[in-house]
Amino acid sequence: MTRPGSRHRAWIEIDHAALRTNLGIVRGLAGGAQVIAVVKANAYGHGAVAVARTLVAAGAERLAVATVEEGIELRDAGVESPILLLWGIGPDEAAEVVAHDLEPIVTDEATVALLERETSRAGRRLSVHLKVDTGLGRQGAGTDEALTIASRVARSAELVIAGTMSHLAVPGEDDAYTEVQQLRLARVVDAMRSSGIDPGCVHVSASGGILAGGTVVQADAVRPGLALYGLVPAWAADRDPGLRPALSLKARPCASSTCRPARRSATGSAFERRRRPASRRSESGTGTDGPASMPTTGWRSCAASVRRWSAPSAWTGS
Ligand SMILES: Cc1ncc(COP(=O)(O)O)c(C=O)c1O
């Protein structure tokens, strides 16, 4: 964040109270399940280390990142929580994973063998999550091979199954497909238990699944990213659960003018002023003091509209 008095023209502010509120809302929606807070991609641009500290202090049981590098950044900053790696790892990353006690996903026997070699060389044990592809078609063991891989990990002296997981393709948008995915995961988990293998913490829902509700699989944890930052999918726009946007973009004013109603502004005529006549242009390059019309596709902020333009009064002279 850039503070008033600095020479920056535009800056973002992160509302850590909103992060805490959103965590509580997510946990409530998830029926009290554990929360694996996704802080990949620099916590979706909110600052990975600061966000991780806030969410862990507020009770998030686990963190999740995409890459080994992101996990190391958190460890180097002193974050001690379990950290799940959402992306599969390559052979050259195994040593770092073990050294920094990160929790990789396993999706095939080659990865299990690789991690076994590395843990045994380091004289350590490592927690892993069995990732099952139940229909997303992106990454994971097939449902017919998941039990074989789980058995392989269960026999290992070095590896422990901390969790069994999957990822939903269309939560909230195709209930039948979502149910099929969850039933496939439930069948894998049942087969593991029947074979005496503890699946650990079972988790399947990211923000979309949490907001869609109605889970059929008995999940122990959820893996929200976007919802923690105050975003909901467009299909959930009419059921605002009270999430608050955690990020505000602010900018110093550079010009003030009066626009007639229906006058368009911004590059590409992106915004059309329908209600209020006054317009202030900011130095972030795109802003007016609150676009009257916004695209509604994709993810949107939970606030009724983009936050009002604001600047310290010292800068506006008002
Ligand atoms: C496996 C997995 N889980 C959870 C998430 C978090 O998803 P969202 O930000 O939609 O909550 C992601 C995001 O990419 C993911 O890939």
**Model confidence pLDDT, tens digit, residues 20-79:** 999 999 999 999 999 999 999 999 999 999 999 999 999 999 999 999 999 999 999 999
Give me the residue spans of the domains in the chain.
10-236, 252-311
pLDDT classification of 195: cutoffs 50, 70, 90: very high
For residue 200, name the pLDDT band (cuts at 50, 70, 90): very high
In CATH, 10-236 is 3.40.190.10 = no
Question: For the chain, what percent of residues have pLDDT higher than 70?
Answer: 83
Distance 313 CA to ligand 1 centre (A): 39
| Residue 132 pLDDT > 70 | yes
Residues with CB under 6 A from ligand 1: 38, 86, 167, 206-208, 223-227
Global pTM reads 0.85
What Cα–Cα distance (Å) separates residue 51 from each residue in 15, 36, 73, 211, 282? Answer: 10, 13, 13, 22, 28
What is the β-pairing status of strands 231-233 and 299-301?
antiparallel
Distance from the alpha carbon of residue 206 to the mean position of ligand 1, in angstroms: 5
Does pLDDT of 108 surpass 80?
A: yes
Q: Are the CB atoms for 231 and 294 separated by under 8 Å?
A: no
- Rounded Cα distance, 48 and 249, in Å: 18
The pLDDT of residue 261 is: 73
Q: What is the mean pLDDT of the chain?
A: 86
Q: What average pLDDT does the segment 83-91 reach?
A: 97
Among protein residues, the one whose CA lies closest to atom 5 of ligand 1:
206
Q: Whose CA is nearest to atom 9 of ligand 1?
A: 225
The C-alpha atoms of residue 203 and residue 199 are separated, in whole angstroms, by 10
124 φ/ψ angles, rounded to the nearest 5 degrees? -130, 170
Write the single-letter amino acid at 13: E
Three-state helix/strand/coil letters over 216-236: CCCCCEECCCHHHHCEEEHHH
Q: How confident is the model at residue 252 (pLDDT cuts 50, 70, 90)?
A: confident
